[in-house]
Chain A
């Protein structure tokens, strides 16, 4: 009885269902992306003109595109390509943004300067800056990563700064200063561990944003160059054949939606679980 009651209560901890669904979707996405490195049903770049525009299950699991390439294989490798760009971009944004955020929270002098720089960066929409960067560097993974990553710096800087400022107001920071610790050490040992949860939540949600933006960029031809398959380019190429072969648009579209949904749910679930108010109540 008590065991059952405990189980029931644990099942109802905040965000459990969201966390589970989001976690499973995201884990599936990552698993598919990693599998594509060692195995895909077909070589995703191999063209078989005679097999072109076949429907799902007629040729392969999800049919073939206008060049006879296997859609399922392209989708799998596309997952890897999208995730790589998204992870790299979020890593750039999270590291630089978090650094800026904790620095701004620690020193009022940094605060004014860094936050104005963030305002300026925030004004650049990632698609536009990618077009600009594409003209400078040529389209490619690096262009996409920089464009998306730079856009994410201010997002992380703001979240981190707000969370860090709250921690700086706590008495244990005062106690640490009493113990003679300097600003850098307090940031490293007291502030960062206590805002890590919020940063992790933000990483998850921004990963979803990054996947969406990456799809947008490769849709416009600013992502990875062909023949590397990306979800965005698959969508772009499917446009022409929308009436003949709607599955070509449906497959990458649903993949993008599922990836974004999964990461968002994971982020929401983690946020509910890591919420300090709810955690302290337990």
Chain B
């Protein structure tokens, strides 16, 4: 589906080019979810921007990004417009800035539908309503006419997912989709993403600095550090038997409870049940 080969991205700096992504190769199969982990500035977001052909103008990219055999780095702006959205959808970190404050949720979803398919206004609205239902927004019939500032962060993020889905992409890129949300909402959003991969056969690239999120929702994991791929493999193997020192450090940096949740050797049995608490 998507194959990135020897991708390097550099920006011109005062002391010569600065490489933010250095010789990274990774592949995503149809229906597979790939997690990309790494600290801030490790190049994960640049990797995703390159995949949708939206690198900043000053960036220089080398290597290949093949989306079903077509090289995105070599594609013209015109070709890219067809690829973006229709083939690749994107979900953003900040649900605050990911929605246009001057348009209702329904308008923003319907817009994408009508941009890529010849359907009427009413039909696009009906489809928008279905998508809102699909991302399990409470009371979609009311929310379709809500403006972003009338919604909570979790609801906005659901609308963001619905907008990405409106174009029926094959690959979904989620850049820290849960970072700005509180923990219970995080779980719901991840549930929706898992469901989309399972039901619609989408491929998913999930970018996160949170190993818990990666462990929960991805099949394969790529660990990045300072622009380099330090480790790549099935998520479970990477987290249980990390080979790179950097991955071990990342796991060691987690609180013990969270580490236990990854299923590593420190697992100390089931969490204790508290009477009357939990679910």
Residues of chain B contacted by A276 (CB below 8 angstroms) = 101
A170 within 8 A of partner (CB): yes
Q: In the assembled complex, which residues on chain B have CB atoms less than 8 Å from the CB atom of A193?
A: 100, 102-103
How many contacts between A and B, using CB within 8 angstroms?
65
Q: Which of A91-134 contact B (CB under 8 A)?
A: 108
| Contacting pair B98 A178 (CB below 8 A) | no
Evaluate contact between A172 and B84: CB separation under 8 angstroms.
Answer: no
Q: How many A residues touch the partner, as a band?
A: 20 to 34
Contact B52 A194 (CB under 8 A): no
**Could you list 10 A-B pairs, sorted by A, with CB under 8 Å?**
A172-B98, A172-B100, A175-B98, A178-B90, A179-B84, A180-B81, A180-B85, A182-B81, A190-B102, A280-B101
The answer to whether A174 touches B167, judged by C-beta atoms less than 8 angstroms apart, is no
Per-residue interface assignment for chain A, residues 208 to 227, with 1 indicating a CB less than 8 Å from any chain B CB and 0 otherwise: 00000000000000000000
A181 partner residues in chain B, CB cutoff 8 A: 115
Interface majority SS (helix, strand, loop, mixed), chain A: helix
Would you give the shortest CB distance from B218 to chain A, in whole angstroms? 22
Interface residues on B, range: 20 to 34
Measured between beta carbons, the chain A residues less than 8 angstroms from B102 are 190, 193-194
Residues in chain B near residue A282, CB distance under 8 A? 149
Top 5 A-B residue pairs of the complex, sorted by shortest distance between their CB atoms:
A171-B98, A171-B92, A193-B102, A180-B81, A170-B97
Residues of A within 8 A of B111 (CB): 179
A46 at the interface (CB under 8 A from B): no
Q: Are A175 and B101 in contact (CB under 8 A)?
A: no
Whether, in the assembled complex, B163 has its beta carbon less than 8 Å from a beta carbon of chain A, the answer is: yes
A179 touches which of B99, B101, B112, B160 (Cβ 8 Å): B112
Question: B30 within 8 Å of A by Cβ?
Answer: no
Of B86, B90, B96, B116, the residue contacting A175 (CB under 8 A) is: B90
CA distance A181 to B111 in the complex (A): 10
- Tell me if B82 counts as interface (CB < 8 A to partner A): yes
A224 to chain B, nearest CB (A): 40
Q: Residue on B with the closest CB to A280?
A: B149
Chain A residue with Cβ nearest B107: A189
Residues of A within 8 A of B93 (CB): 171
Query: Is B154 part of the binding interface, using a Cβ–Cβ cutoff of 8 Å?
Result: no
- B residues 126-145 with Cβ under 8 Å of A? none
Q: Which of B57, B89, B103, B115 contacts A108 (CB 8 A)?
A: B57
Taken together as a complex, chains A and B put the C-alpha atoms of A178 and B101 apart, in Å, by 18
Candidates A179, A182, A190; contact of B167 at CB < 8 Å = A179
- Nearest CB of chain A from residue B248's CB, rounded to whole Å: 33
A276 to chain B, nearest CB (A): 8
Residues 22-49 of A, flagged 1 when their CB comes within 8 A of B and 0 if not, give: 0000000000000000000000000000
Q: Could you say which residues of chain B place their CB within 8 Å of the CB of A175?
A: 90, 92, 98, 160, 163-164
Complex interface: chain B residues within 8 A of A182 (CB):
81
Q: With an 8 A cutoff between CB atoms, is B88 at the interface?
A: yes
* Chain B residues with CB below 8 A from A194, complex form: 100-102
* Contact A172/B52 with A178-B84, A180-B84, A181-B115 known, Cβ cut-off 8 Å: no
Q: Assess whether A7 is interfacial by the CB under 8 Å rule.
A: no
Is residue B18 within 8 Å, beta carbon to beta carbon, of the partner chain?
Answer: no
Q: A171-B97, A172-B100, A194-B101 are in contact. Are A179 and B92 (CB under 8 A)?
A: no
In whole Å, how far is B35's beta carbon from the nearest beta carbon of chain A?
21
